[in-house]
Amino acid sequence: MRVLGIETSCDETSAAVLDGTGDDATLRSLVILSQDVHAIFGGVVPEIASRAHLTAIVPVVERALTEAHADAFDAVAVTNAPGLVGALLVGVSYAKALAFARGVPVIGVHHMEGHLFATALEHRGAVPPFTALLVSGGHTLLLDVEAWGRYRVLGRTRDDAAGEAFDKVAKLLGLPYPGGPHLERLAAASQAGPFRFARPMLRRDQAAGDPDFYDFSFSGLKTAVLNAVRASADLGADRGPIARAFQDALVDTLVEKTTRAVRQFGRTRVVLGGGVAGNASLVAALRERFTSRGVEVFAPSSRLATDNAAMIARAGLFHLERGERSSLDLNAFATQPLPGLVAA
């Protein structure tokens, strides 16, 4: 089956063509147009994002089809939740019109389920059962995935998402938006030195069943950074060590909670997804923790870690093969639970 994927949930206009059956899927093309304009404002401006999607959607889809040498496709998969509604509506409207004109089905895809499938496009072993850590700009989710379409949510953030924490701390340190990759570079070139921040929501006395055993919270860490910045007599010299200490605290928390999930469910694979999965320190720390325990860690490349339509096409393929279709009244939603949830 050939699936055209479309993603417009935030500030990337993306289209991809994917051929496949089950876990045997081949990416034929992937076009990602990042809306750099938001850097001027230090964050995504929703109306500007919607208008930029409207301008870009036709050429981005046409280019994905041209690069794949694909005139025809069997279905259109489009992100319809969660995200900025005005941005999602552009992709959903376009996908429905295109599917109608071509006489093929359209399927709405949950953006976070897309992130779950991204790594499988690059690593054949990144298939269920596995423990999943999804760390993006809008979400932080720890999941046990016993099969595609059967997801047990173990933990989520109570305030800022991991990527959001990176972006906010980067801003405090005077780095450009989106700050994650800039902060990672600054941290990599520094030692934490005199700075050390408490690991958020991490205590030894937590036990499975406690609400905070798996959950995350990053706003306190952000405040600790703010206090360190304010107290610094020489921020030029302290920026690097503060960035490093922040990243160390955040990574430690993610590694520890992921370890708890792997242990409880006895999984032998960890699959990462979302923009922060492109962070080399996080991936290295997880590998250091798990390799000697016989647990393999799968991380997507930066291109597939951040928002892209390939992962949407891949998740769409899964649902289409199960016979699922959306109707032409498919709508867009700012929030929506992940499909296929099983009780924790």
> Which parts of this chain interact with ligand KG4 (CB under 6 A)?
10, 136-138, 163-164, 166-167, 178-181, 184, 274-276, 278-279, 306-307
Helix ranges (H only) for the chain are 46-67, 85-102, 111-118, 162-172, 180-188, 219-231, 235-265, 280-290, 302-305, 309-321
Only one of the segments 79-87, 98-106, 187-195, 301-309 lies at the binding site for Zn ion (rule: CB under 5 A); that segment is: 301-309
Q: Which is nearest to 201 in space by CA: 157, 261, 246?
A: 157
Choose the contact partner of 248 out of ligand KG4, Zn ion, none; CB within 5 to 8 A by kind: none
Strands 150-156 and 140-147: antiparallel
* Of residues 166 and 218, the one with the C-beta less far from ligand KG4: 166
The least CB distance from residue 275 to ligand KG4, in Å, is 2
CB 15 within 8 A of CB 54: no
Choose the contact partner of 140 out of Zn ion, ligand KG4, none; CB within 5 to 8 A by kind: none
The residue whose Cβ lies closest to Zn ion is 136
Structure tokens that stand for 277 in this block? 């999965």
Query: Which of 267, 307, 316, 319 contacts Zn ion by CB under 5 A?
Result: 307
* Of residues 114 and 241, the one with the C-beta less far from Zn ion: 114
The least CB distance from residue 105 to ligand KG4, in Å, is 25
The least CB distance from residue 200 to ligand KG4, in Å, is 16
- Give the integer Cα–Cα distance in Å for 222 and 235: 16
Choose the contact partner of 167 out of Zn ion, ligand KG4, none; CB within 5 to 8 A by kind: ligand KG4
- Give the integer Cα–Cα distance in Å for 149 and 226: 40
Judge residue 131's burial from the number of C-beta atoms within 10 Å of its C-beta, 0-12 exposed, 13-18 middle, 19 or more buried.
Answer: buried
* Of residues 146 and 159, the one with the C-beta less far from ligand KG4: 159
12 binds Zn ion (CB under 5 A): no
Interacting residues with Zn ion between 120 and 149 (CB under 5 A): 136
SS3 218: coil
DSSP annotation string for 291-318: GGGT-EEE---HHHHSS-HHHHHHHHHH
Choose the contact partner of 79 out of ligand KG4, Zn ion, none; CB within 5 to 8 A by kind: none
Judged by the rule CB under 5 A, the positions of this chain that interact with Zn ion are 136, 307
